[in-house]
Amino acid sequence: MKNQSFQRRLKFAVNGIQSAWETESSFRTHTFMSVGVLIFLGWLRPAPIWWAVIFLIIGGVLSLELLNTALEQVVDRLHPEQHPMIAKAKDCAAGAVLVLSIAAVAIFIALLAAHFGGNHGPLIPGLF
């Protein structure tokens, strides 16, 4: 697929997102939650830095979910039988999505604490 036009490469990327949307409930769930968070941000109107952080973490979660889906598809195609090492690799990829999702929740809680907590000093003394 090297040396393809930008438009053609963009179509491949959109097809991948569409495929994940159609086949992966986790991707749909993360997308719906992301839209909900963005709607909430629109209501809350936090400082621009919070918008940047939230967009970055949403992009990270959705991107990692797409990578997890890609890994599962390739592995299942190349080795359809169950194998402990393949199961471990798939579990690790799912775990990576979980870790980043937990970080996303922590960032959202930090946003809420900063917005509604008033001026009570740093969330974690010496760190933030």
Which residues form the catalytic set? 65
CA distance linking residue 127 with residue 110, whole number of Å = 12
Q: What b/e sequence results for 69-106 when a residue is b if at least 16 CB atoms lie within 10 Å of its CB, and e otherwise?
A: bebbeebeeeeeeeeeebeeeeeebbeebeebbeebee
